[in-house]
Amino acid sequence: MPGNNCTQATGFSLVGFTENPASQLTLFLVFLLTYLVTILGNLGMITLIRASPLLRSPMYYFLGNLAFVNLCTSTIITPRILVGVLLGKKGMAYAGCMAQVFALDLFVLTECFLLATMAYDRYVAICHPLLYPLVMSPERCSRLVTASYLLGLANSVGQTIGTSGLFFCGSSTIDLFSCDISLLIPLSTSDTTLSLVFLRAASSLLGVPSMLVVLVSYVAIISTILRISSAEGKGKAFSTCASHLTTVSTFYGALLFMYLIPKSGTSRGADKWAAVLYTVVTPMLNPFIYSLRNQEVKEAWRRL
């Protein structure tokens, strides 16, 4: 229960990264460059997929949606980091914090399901190529993508409603550069048992199954690839999956560390860099991971 001398917070203070002016300038330039590359890379990927007749397969349909989600995730986080680092504005209004929780939960979980869908797509393409046109029809692909967004939306609505019902003291400080629900809940002076249970349950029931889909899909894919007799066939199959596997490992690894591994007092600094990895770095790298290792994308760029 809230104390007698505690009033409901109208905003939160974000700790950020450092108070050193020289380090702040360096961080600002790094994050600014990262954001510009993220915008150009993901917008370029979306434009290329929509414009090129070569990129009309389900894989590129999913990749275009992934680029859109990456663009949204980075836009939710990076401009706020830039303002905090450049102007020293560490405060965020209560409504803005709840809006950031809602948007971040929406797009992060949507990306989880999109990555799982892309793993399933590669599984069908490599393990059951004759059934691929039937299984991954345009209608089914559209339903899979729509379901990814709807599940992300349902989770973000539930998490935001639960968090907005908590009581926060006026001096609440978040030891991060954004309003992350995993750090908001422990700051509340209300009984947070139900909120923590809901957060863990959502992470386990929604996030873990998508990881299992990826894991099972790639176990089957690798098993199938190893049975291919020709070295050229093996190389082509591994090349098709390597980009997606790189993205999945980075993204899910950071999420596991952030939300499912128990925290100690010394892990807060690592939390910040894990959050940077899946909200800032991964959205920047994805377009280049998929384009630099993909001959079809390279050819589409040359033709365009």
Give the per-residue pLDDT at 5.
Answer: 61
Give the per-residue pLDDT at 85.
Answer: 81
Quote the DSSP letter at residue 169: B
22 contacts 210 by C-beta, under 8 angstroms: no
Other Cβ atoms closer than 10 A to 47: 13
Give the per-residue pLDDT at 269.
Answer: 61
d(CA 114, CA 181): 22
Give the per-residue pLDDT at 94.
Answer: 83
The one-letter amino acid at 164: S
Give the per-residue pLDDT at 165.
Answer: 79
Average pLDDT in the chain: 83
d(CA 250, CA 32): 21
The pLDDT-based confidence of 33 (bands split at 50, 70, 90) is very high
Q: What is the pLDDT of residues 123-146, one digit of tens each?
A: 998 889 899 999 999 999 999 999
Report, as an integer, the average pLDDT of 282-289: 87
89 CB-near residues (< 8 Å, 6+ apart): 83
The pLDDT-based confidence of 268 (bands split at 50, 70, 90) is low
Report, as an integer, the average pLDDT of 283-291: 84
Residue of 253, 222, 252, 216 whose CA lies nearest to 240: 222
d(CA 231, CA 249): 25
Helical H segments across 128-263, by residue range: 132-135, 138-164, 181-187, 193-202, 208-226, 231-255
Give the per-residue pLDDT at 272.
Answer: 78
b/e sequence 55-64, b meaning 16+ C-beta within 10 Å:
bebbbbbbbb
Report, as an integer, the average pLDDT of 210-214: 89
Backbone angles phi, psi at 91, to 5 degrees: -85, 150
Quote the DSSP letter at residue 260: I
d(CA 167, CA 165): 7
148 contacts 113 by C-beta, under 8 angstroms: yes
Residue labelled with tokens 């709840």: 98
197 CB-near residues (< 8 Å, 6+ apart): none
Q: Which residues pair with 93 in a beta bridge?
A: 11
Q: Which residues pair with 14 in a beta bridge?
A: 174
Q: What domains are there in the chain, each with its CATH number?
A: 12-303 (1.20.1070.10)
d(CA 202, CA 20): 38
Q: Which residues pair with 91 in a beta bridge?
A: 13
Report, as an integer, the average pLDDT of 227-236: 72
d(CA 256, CA 276): 14
